[in-house]
Amino acid sequence: MSAIDGQLGTKHDDEIAGVVPHVGPTTVDPSTRGPVWRLITATLSLALFVYPIYAGLFGGPPAIVFMSTYLLIVMALTAFLLPSGIFKPGSAGEWALNLLLVAGCVAAAWVAYDWLRFALVFTLTPLEKTGCVVLLLAAMEMTRRTPTSAMNYVAIGAIVYALFGNYLPSLLGQAGMTVDRLLWSQVFTTDGLFGEPLSIGATFIGLFVFFAAFLEASGGAQKFMNFTIAIAGRFRGGSAKIAILASAMMGMMSGSSVTNIVTTGVITIPMMKRVGYKPEMAAGIEATASLGSQITPPILGATAFLMSEITGYPMIQIMALTVIPCILFYFCIFMQVHLASIKLNIGALDPKEIPPLGRATFEALPFFIPIVALVVLLYMRYSTSYAVSVSILFFFAVCMVFPETRRNFLANSMRGLREGAATCIPLVGSLATAGMIVGVLTMTGLGDRLSYLIEMVSGNNLHIMIVMTALICLLLGTGMVTVGDYVLVAVTVVPLMVHLGVELIVAHMFIFYLAVMSAISPPVMVGVFAAASIAKSDTMKTAWQALRFSIVGFLVPFIFIYDPAILMVHGITLEGLFLLASVLVGIVALAIGFEQFAFFRTISRPYAAVYLVVAFVTLLPSITASAIGMGCLALLLAWEWMRRPAHTVAA
């Protein structure tokens, strides 16, 4: 066992347990509960995992039946795993809120049993209305207990608008909806609570959450960490580069930035602090690198799968389209970290801490098999739910083949089930609430009205519209999760962008990327809080560092709009390759300007501004401008090389 194996093994139970309560739902400690409680939660967790796998492999019941029973399981787990956060455990208030969740489970079971009767019946009896209200309130209570609780405020606003929008001025007003119509559309159709967002979570995104939990519990995360340390640990600033590479690799497996931070950050952040990075910088690097999980193929995240459903583009094509954005995102972080390492004179890791590359590669390779299986099955046009289910079975097969993972397979699986179930709750809560919001937008026509307002304000000018869209994405992202941000903007703005000549998938990629980036913007910034809690750093200083390292993430989406060839939407072209090269060069200039360090020496602010101007020119949507910018950067770097100090050692 390498040094890092032992380090991760000792840190896992203590440090991760200390971090999770600050970044995710505070779960009930299993050690304080009896065997009956543990049996019930284990059974529910197993059901939450097995149910979508069975549906993916053999086909499930009708959509509303499947989603309502899935939601029933999640709400039941919420009552057992998550305290109310308002009342003391065991108090009357706590019991009342848990009874609401139990009543929600009963209502969900009723919907699953009786849904077909309401297919053509739009009026509800008082008892049926009560059941619908209880179900919606229980879903919102489930969401309230998680970090995604801000979604409830938007949902409440949407419901109020649906009922009383007829009192608003004509531009924003609507004909009004009866209570019966609102409840019927939310509960008995696939345009509300049981809409596309929850469908995606129930069929395969929840399985990815379990996959990441099993990977970490089985020791696969240790193997990936060893692999990244063996690759990056020998270079200057190795600890920070390990954080970047580890986050990218874990992003391939999880698609969740917070999961990424909790899995890799407990190792990389203390490692960075130990070699000389300030706590805020170490946490900022980890938070930014982990943010890329949602744009790192093949798993990506719930938003990418939702984009596939909305646009009709196959998931394998969505994965391919995220490759270039992912490269640009991580290249920018890498360049800034590399320059900061040279400037701070932070060297490589101690050779004793670096495992042999050959052994680390051999140990990590088997855990890539499920990912390869997923990509191959999607390429062969199998359904996403089937491909995900089979890839997880491959993962279990890998665990059973190797003695190290087979030895503790049952214990690791139970821990993975428990952690995966706890992580599923905020995911399902946010997706269910997003479905409620989208349902109101659809049924009331509010989405069309908002589109009309944006069209009026922008004057049908694409340049103004994309700036407005970016600001809306970033603003919404400060208060809600990525999927909610993406859904709201996609429904209202994408049709306008397409009308002005932007290709459909390019418009969705623009919004998707910005919605992901908004997750690092204050005040919510869950990933920043997670990293700061590990580093014991100031949250706002950490947020500033994270924003500084992720600056290119806020610029890249605009390149999609003006230079869509860079996404290689229609295949690899010479124009696309040139654009990619020019953007990479522009990122180098950006990194130098922001770090005020030109590979060999610290530079003044005015001189750094020159590099930023060169970066801007290089990134312009013009082949001529890009060529001029690249030429200017080559001259500047040649000048720096000639003036380099005589004692400089190559980095």
- Nearest of 123, 125, 163, 157 to residue 140 by alpha carbon: 157
Is 135:188 a contact under the CB 8 Å cutoff? Answer: no
The CA distance from 368 to 539, in Å, is 35
The count of residues in the chain is 651
The CA distance from 600 to 584, in Å, is 20
What residues pair up with 597 in beta bridges, in sequence order? 602
Calculate mean pLDDT across residues 11-30: 43
Residue with tokens 């999927």: 483
What pLDDT shows up at residue 628?
A: 93
Half-sphere exposure of 330 (CA within 13 A, CB side): 24
The CA distance from 113 to 110, in Å, is 5
> Domain map of the chain by residue range?
3-190, 572-651
User: Rounded mean pLDDT of the chain?
Assistant: 83
In this prediction, what percent of the chain has a pLDDT beyond 70?
A: 91
pLDDT > 70? residue 1:
no
Query: Could you tell me the pLDDT band of residue 101, with boundaries at 50, 70 and 90?
Result: very high
Query: Could you tell me the pLDDT band of residue 291, with boundaries at 50, 70 and 90?
Result: confident
- Peptide bond between residue 62 and the one before it cis (omega within 30 degrees of 0): no
The CA distance from 192 to 194, in Å, is 5
Two tokens at 574?
């010479």
Q: Tell me which of 348 and 503 has the higher pLDDT.
A: 503
Is 231:244 a contact under the CB 8 Å cutoff? Answer: no
What pLDDT shows up at residue 21?
A: 32
What pLDDT shows up at residue 25?
A: 53
Eight-class DSSP state of 223 = H
What one-letter code names the amino acid at 627? A
Calculate mean pLDDT across residues 558-583: 86
What pLDDT shows up at residue 7?
A: 38
61: left (phi over 0), alpha (psi -120 to 50) or beta: beta
Two tokens at 335?
């360049």
Which helix (H) or strand (E) element contains residue 378? helix 369-379
The CA distance from 98 to 101, in Å, is 5
Query: Could you tell me the pLDDT band of residue 363, with boundaries at 50, 70 and 90?
Result: confident
pLDDT-wise least confident of 82-91, 126-135, 505-514? 82-91
Query: Could you tell me the pLDDT band of residue 16, with boundaries at 50, 70 and 90?
Result: very low
pLDDT > 80? residue 469:
yes
pLDDT > 90? residue 99:
yes
What pLDDT shows up at residue 524?
A: 58
Quick: pLDDT tens for 153-196. 888 998 999 999 888 877 777 877 889 999 999 999 888 899 88
Quick: pLDDT tens for 606-618. 888 999 999 999 9
568: left (phi over 0), alpha (psi -120 to 50) or beta: left
Is 585:366 a contact under the CB 8 Å cutoff? Answer: no
The CA distance from 383 to 48, in Å, is 20
pLDDT > 80? residue 522:
no
Query: Could you tell me the pLDDT band of residue 308, with boundaries at 50, 70 and 90?
Result: confident
The 3-state DSSP class for residue 597 equals strand
Angle between helices 446-458 and 409-444 (to 10 degrees): 70
Q: Tell me which of 325 and 252 has the higher pLDDT.
A: 325
Burial of residue 5, with CB atoms counted within 10 A of its CB: 0-12 exposed, 13-18 middle, 19 or more buried:
middle
Quick: pLDDT tens for 419-463. 888 888 888 888 898 889 888 888 888 777 778 788 888 888 888
Is 197:487 a contact under the CB 8 Å cutoff? Answer: yes
What pLDDT shows up at residue 555?
A: 82
What one-letter code names the amino acid at 299? I
Query: Could you tell me the pLDDT band of residue 133, with boundaries at 50, 70 and 90?
Result: very high
Calculate mean pLDDT across residues 99-125: 90
